[in-house]
Amino acid sequence: MLCSTALRRIPIEVDRRVILNRGKVILISKFHSESGSEPGYLHDSLWPNNNNPTPYEIFNLKGTDVDNKSLKKIYHKYVKLYHPDMSCNKHILRNVSGKESRLLSIEEKLERFKLISHAYEILKDKDKKFLYDCNKSGWVNNGCVRHNYPNAYSTKHYGNGYGYQSDYTYAYWSAGTWDDVQELNREKESFNIWQLCIFVCSLYACVKGVALLSELEDAINMKSPSQEDSERDLILSYTNYGLDTDKMSRLKRFLWFRTFSMFRTKEDLDREVAKNNKLLAELEKPKKQK
């Protein structure tokens, strides 16, 4: 019944190309001139009548439930109608009763294409759709009448408030004209030689600062003895207190402590002392020969 009602609104001399979306006629009607020899006008019956349409209104969705497959089909039909490379030679009416003055201009067709791409990007992404459903964030058409507006994806005009607007890949593939692509390339190439020099100088200053702090720490540690040095000196003072610290004296003490800890009888001690003296004499011979 809805299809019949929608078609009755269109004049008889019409080439009806109808696309059904949940039982509703949503897209293009092609009008022919009276002579029938020249192509006539197109009317997008899906496009909302208000000046500030929401993403759901653009795709004729009544609720928040979105079928990505149907959404993609509608988007492709929109692209075929409004893409700048395809819409230049198309005469699109604002309404079916309009005259020549009611035709969409090139700027208005480009505006619609950008809004369609933007709405499609929000609705197909679950995270962006959730943010939009919660607080209407991410939709650049909120609260303003948009006619001949600048590039909708340029962060220069709309700031970095939304993460997807700073995504170069998304902005590149959503650019409506070559002018938008050139503007994106200019923004991407804004990193110049002076920024590189500043970056290198800053990095060098950071490295020198870290080195200076390390040298300062070493100088402070040299002035005040560390815990390891104090502990080593304490142990040496206990083991060698009042004794010589040369090599032979330390060897004699080592042999004496070893003998005393291993043997207890006088015979064993005398035998080991004789061995130790013989060993020390052999160690001292090279020193005397020199």
Q: What is the CATH number of the domain that holds 142?
A: 1.10.287.110
Q: How many CB atoms lie within 10 A of CB 225?
A: 11
User: 249 with 131, same domain?
Assistant: no
Helix (H), strand (E) counts: the chain: 13, 6
pTM, entire model? 0.40
The predicted model gives 101-116 an average pLDDT of: 84
Beta strands in the chain (DSSP E): 14-16, 20-21, 24-25, 29-32, 39-43, 92-93
**Please, where are the H alpha helices in 83-154?**
84-87, 106-124, 126-135
- Write the CA distances from 282 to 147, 254, 285, integer angstroms: 107, 16, 5
User: 141 with 14, same domain?
Assistant: yes
Residue type, 47: W
pLDDT, one tens digit per residue, over 166-206 is: 455 666 666 666 677 677 676 665 567 888 899 899 999 99
Structural domain total, the chain:
2
Does residue 178 lie within any of the structural domains? no
* Beta bridge partner(s), residue 15: 30
Q: Which domain holds residue 39?
A: 2-149
User: 144 with 255, same domain?
Assistant: no
Does residue 233 lie within any of the structural domains? no
pLDDT at 38 over 70: no
Nearest Cα residue to 116 out of 44, 63, 43: 44
pLDDT at 194: 83
pLDDT at 40 over 90: no
Distance CA 97, CA 83 (A): 24
Distance CA 55, CA 64 (A): 10
The predicted model gives 21-38 an average pLDDT of: 41
Distance CA 223, CA 125 (A): 63
- Using the 3D structure, point to which of 149, 178, 194 is the last residue of a domain: 149
Residues 6+ apart with CB under 8 A from 122: 55, 128, 129, 132, 138, 139
Query: Predicted confidence band at 212 (pLDDT cuts at 50, 70, 90)?
Result: very high
Q: How many CB atoms lie within 10 A of CB 6?
A: 16
